[in-house]
Amino acid sequence: MARTFTKLGKQIAIAVKAGGPEPENNPTLRAIIATCKRENMPKDNIERAIKNAMGKDQSDYKEVSYEGYGPHGIAVFVDTLTDNTTRTVADVRSVFNKFNGNLGTQGSLSFLFDHKCVFSFKKKDDTNMDDLILELIDFGVDDDYDEDEESGEITIYGEPTSFGDIQKYLEENGFEITSAEFTRIPNDLKDVTPEQRETIDKMVERLEEFDDVQNVYTNMKPEETTEEAE
Domain locations along the chain: 2-53, 62-111+186-229
pLDDT, tens digit (0-9, with 9 covering 90-100), for 72-122? 999 999 999 998 999 999 999 999 999 999 999 988 998 999 999 999 999
C-alpha span between 124 and 145 (Å, rounded): 15
Q: Rounded mean pLDDT of 136-155?
A: 92
Residue 57 pLDDT exceeds 70: no
pTM over 0.85: no
pLDDT for position 226: 42
Asked if 49 and 42 touch (Cβ cutoff 8 Å), the reply is no
pLDDT, tens digit (0-9, with 9 covering 90-100), for 188-201? 899 999 999 999 99
Domain 62-111+186-229: CATH class, spelled out: alpha beta
Give the mean pLDDT of the chain. Answer: 90
pLDDT for position 223: 83
Beta bridge partners of 87: none
pLDDT for position 62: 87
**56 pLDDT tier (thresholds 50, 70, 90):** low
Domain 2-53 shares a fold with domain 62-111+186-229? no
pLDDT, tens digit (0-9, with 9 covering 90-100), for 202-216? 999 999 999 899 999
C-alpha span between 81 and 68 (Å, rounded): 18
Q: Which CATH code fits 2-53?
A: 1.10.10.200
C-alpha span between 32 and 148 (Å, rounded): 21
pLDDT for position 229: 43
Asked if 104 and 175 touch (Cβ cutoff 8 Å), the reply is no
